[in-house]
């Protein structure tokens, strides 16, 4: 990318309220839409190495930038600390990260450290950085995993998230950087494609079911994992960022809980709506990753500190996702 061009472009703008880095990803698209609704399109700037494939998201000012390029980030953030909120979502997820471990480490860690340094220099007021249930591992309590559970990651993605949590806490303690974080469970949404995570089966299954296709799951039928509907995850993110600083007691990353289910449970609920739906199981290397993660997590600290509670259960999730995917199939049929 051409950093001087980005710098010239950014310097010609009036700073907005929010900057979303990694806006082309699954979470980036959803969060950008929510921030546009909250603050207005012009108060949200977005950035990624490729433009988001969503017309509504692209109503906000888009700037191409590499999150690992110090000059690019300097240009995006400007020099006067104009952004109230920066959302740093650029990352390589678990399954893809295992194929490219050094690239995953570089992207996930270098980009965070650059932004934490920018926070120390006063380039923004608050930073959001996502962690993950991937920080947990085989030695971690599997059921109702507590906030202060042992972190025992088994993937480079989880290792980077564990390290990132401690860097966030360090920069808050030593430099007063107001960085906030959530340990996301598997996120399930229908407005964009998943990005290479171990929980992606729970998104892909709905598209196959809506098309009337059998689905082959890469996890075992009984591998329960914490999951969450995307709208709940976005709502939790905005609630955390709006919480008074003095109410926050966790500066690593908050546990976040939504729904916990296994593939066979999800398939059963889908079949109750689409009786012809069929599923088969062919566990691959992602099964080993999933087996190291919790069955469920305890998010009582998030409930206490900033009033968090999930709103979408499994039955509601299946209904929402099937309706959206069936609508997509019908729209594609009309176009053809």
| Helix orientation angle between 201-210 and 263-273, rounded to the nearest 10 degrees | 20
- CB under 8 Å to 263, separation ≥6 — which residues? 201, 202, 205, 217, 219, 220, 221, 222, 223, 279, 281
CA dist 196 and 231 (Å) reads 20
Sign, CA torsion 251/257/262/264 = negative
Strands 179-180 and 186-188, how do they pair? unpaired
Sign, CA torsion 232/234/237/238 = negative
- Is 157 one of the catalytic residues? yes
CA dist 26 and 125 (Å) reads 25
| Helix orientation angle between 314-335 and 263-273, rounded to the nearest 10 degrees | 60
216: left (phi over 0), alpha (psi -120 to 50) or beta: beta
Count of beta carbons in the 10 Å neighbourhood of residue 236:
23
- Contact call for residues 226 and 257 (beta carbons, < 8 A): yes
The DSSP 8-state label assigned to residue 109 in this structure reads I
Q: Give the bridge partners for 255, in sequence order.
A: 183
Residue tagged active-site, from 62, 83, 157, 201? 157
CA dist 188 and 27 (Å) reads 10
Count of beta carbons in the 10 Å neighbourhood of residue 22:
26
- Residues acting as catalytic residues: 157
């Amino acid at each position: 990318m051409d950093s001087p061009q980005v710098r010239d472009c950014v310097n010609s703008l009036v700073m907005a309220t929010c900057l979303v880095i990694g806006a082309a990803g699954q979470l980036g698209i959803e969060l950008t839409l929510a921030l546009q609704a909250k603050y207005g399109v012009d108060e949200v700037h977005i950035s990624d190495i490729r433009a988001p494939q969503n017309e509504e998201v692209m109503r906000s000012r888009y700037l191409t930038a590499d999150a690992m390029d110090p000059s690019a980030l300097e240009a995006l953030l400007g020099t006067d600390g104009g952004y109230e909120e920066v959302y740093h979502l650029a990352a390589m997820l678990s399954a893809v990260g295992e194929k490219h471990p050094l690239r995953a480490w570089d992207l996930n860690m270098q980009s965070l450290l650059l932004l934490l340094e920018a926070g120390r220099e006063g380039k923004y007021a608050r930073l959001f950085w996502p962690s993950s249930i991937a920080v947990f591992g085989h030695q971690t309590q599997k059921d109702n995993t507590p906030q202060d559970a042992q972190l025992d990651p088994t993937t480079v993605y989880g290792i980077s998230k564990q390290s990132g949590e401690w860097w966030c806490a360090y920069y808050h303690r030593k430099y007063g950087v107001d960085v906030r974080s959530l340990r996301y469970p598997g996120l399930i949404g229908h407005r964009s494609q998943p990005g290479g995570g171990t929980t992606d089966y729970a998104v892909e299954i709905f598209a196959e079911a809506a098309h009337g296709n059998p689905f082959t799951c890469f996890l075992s039928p009984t591998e329960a994992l914490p999951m969450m509907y995307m709208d709940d995850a976005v709502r939790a993110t905005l609630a955390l960022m709006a919480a008074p600083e003095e109410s926050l007691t966790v500066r690593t990353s908050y546990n976040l809980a939504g729904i916990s289910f296994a593939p066979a449970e999800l398939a059963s609920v889908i079949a109750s709506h689409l009786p012809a739906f069929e599923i088969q199981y062919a566990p691959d290397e992602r099964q080993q990753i999933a087996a190291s993660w919790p069955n469920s997590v305890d998010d009582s600290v998030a409930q206490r500190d900033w009033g968090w509670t999930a709103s979408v259960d499994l039955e509601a999730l299946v209904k929402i996702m099937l309706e959206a995917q069936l609508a997509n199939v019908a729209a594609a049929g009309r176009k053809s």
